[in-house]
C-alpha cells in the first residue's frame, strides 16, 4: 500500500490562498521584535507565510498584511530582500 504523504499547506497572508508550504516563504517575528525571512521555517517566533511571487509580495506591502499579521511594523528593506530572493530563485530554475 502506497500511502500518500500529507503535504503541509499554509495560507499566504497577502492573497489568502492555501499553498504547499514549500511554495511559500516564512517571515518570522522574534520575541525581541526582529522581523526576518526564515528560509528553513524553523525559527521560533510568530510566523507568517507569503507566496514566492512578486505580486503577492507587493500586495502584502500595499495592504500591510505582514505588519498586521505579525503585529509589528515592517522595514521596507524586508520587501526588497524578498523580491531579491525571488529573482535568485528564477535564475536558479
pTM: 0.86
Instruction: For residues 4 and 51, give the distance between their C-alpha atoms in angstroms, rounded to a whole number.
Output: 24
Give residue limits of the domains in the chain.
10-92
- Does CATH place domain 10-92 in 3.30.1230.10? yes
**Kind of pairing, strands 35-38 and 24-29?**
antiparallel
* pLDDT tens across the length of the chain (93 residues): 556 788 899 999 999 999 999 999 999 999 999 999 998 999 999 999 999 999 999 999 999 999 999 999 999 999 999 999 988 877 876
Amino acid at each position: 500500500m502506497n500511502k500518500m504523504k500529507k503535504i503541509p499547506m499554509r495560507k499566504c497572508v497577502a492573497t489568502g490562498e492555501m499553498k504547499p508550504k514549500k511554495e511559500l516563504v516564512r517571515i518570522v517575528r522574534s520575541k525581541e521584535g526582529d522581523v526576518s525571512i526564515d528560509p528553513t521555517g524553523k525559527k521560533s517566533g510568530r510566523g507568517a507565510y507569503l507566496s514566492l511571487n512578486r505580486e503577492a509580495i507587493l500586495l502584502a506591502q500595499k495592504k500591510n498584511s505582514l505588519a498586521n499579521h505579525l503585529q509589528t511594523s515592517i522595514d521596507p528593506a524586508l520587501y526588497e530582500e524578498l523580491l531579491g530572493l525571488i529573482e535568485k530563485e528564477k535564475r536558479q530554475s
